[in-house]
Amino acid sequence: MEKRRIFNWKKNENDTTHLLEGLATCNHCYMAYRTHSKTDANADKQGQKGERTTSLIQPKFAFHKNALPEKYKLKLKDAELKFIVAGSHSFKSLENDGTLKLVQTAIEIGADIGLVDVHDIFYGRQTIREETLSKFHQYTDQVCSLLEESIKQHCVTATTDLRTDDLMKRTYLDFTIFFVNDIYELNHTLLRCKHFQEEKSGINIWYQIEEIFKSFNLSFGDTLVTTDQAPNMVKALSLTDEHGKI
């Protein structure tokens, strides 16, 4: 684990802040470490004897599962192991908030209606796919409503770019807008991050940008688009009436 030196400060009885020399804090876990031996410590550090800095990060799970009978401890460990191995999930996925909320929901259902078979309550891929699309359309409608006044006031700009995943070598087109509301707050939101499977030509890029403009009722010719100097992006925006700041 990388330990970056972050100097530690402390207030004394006179409410004066002074540097705790000889100590540094890990930028990852916030644990304090001595940077040189105790023999180098001066009188000020001797007065700090017995003081300990504890981690600010609390463990996500209780170490002792006192509320869980022994037979369920083994059963749960085995089930989590199978989730990782059979599903090719990472160990970190066990601590993912989405996974924990899913499990917590199942626990609450069981506590309310009693023991049930998971196949009687769980939704499959098709239902969740439809729910995802429903949420997406709901999000689109909300964004369109949110942008309506900013578009009328000509207070919307955008950025777009193509990027390639270094590992999988997949290309994605992202499109982010920035807008100012009626109380002059600057906001931004990602409207699209699309797996770009087409040839990365200017015309194909423009077709995707045009579809985003239409989906969110953005104003053609009145939305400044910023991107980099990539020839295909320059070509894509030159095909439009947009005067993109390239």
**Residues contacting 93, CB < 8 A, separation 6+:** 83, 84, 99
Q: Nearest to residue 156, comparing CAs of 176, 134, 131? A: 176
Q: Nearest to residue 156, comparing CAs of 226, 246, 239, 229? A: 226
15: left (phi over 0), alpha (psi -120 to 50) or beta: left
**Residues contacting 92, CB < 8 A, separation 6+:** none
Decide if pLDDT at 45 tops 50.
no
> What pLDDT does 222 receive?
85
> What pLDDT band is residue 122 in, cutting at 50, 70 and 90?
very high
Residue 148 identity (one-letter amino acid): E
pTM of the model: 0.57
**How many angstroms separate the CA atoms of 168 and 195, rounded?**
12
**Comparison of pLDDT for 38 and 233, the residue scoring more:** 233
pLDDT tens digits, residue range 59-108?
A: 577 777 888 888 899 999 999 999 999 988 999 999 999 999 999 999 99
| In contact, 221 and 156? CB cutoff 8 Å | no
Q: Nearest to residue 207, comparing CAs of 246, 160, 167? A: 160
Nearest-10 crossing angle of helices 231-238, 202-215: 60
pLDDT, average across residues 210-220: 91
Strand partners, 47: none
Decide if pLDDT at 35 tops 90.
no
**How many angstroms separate the CA atoms of 140 and 146, rounded?**
10
- Which phi and psi (to 5°) does residue 122 adopt? -80, 145
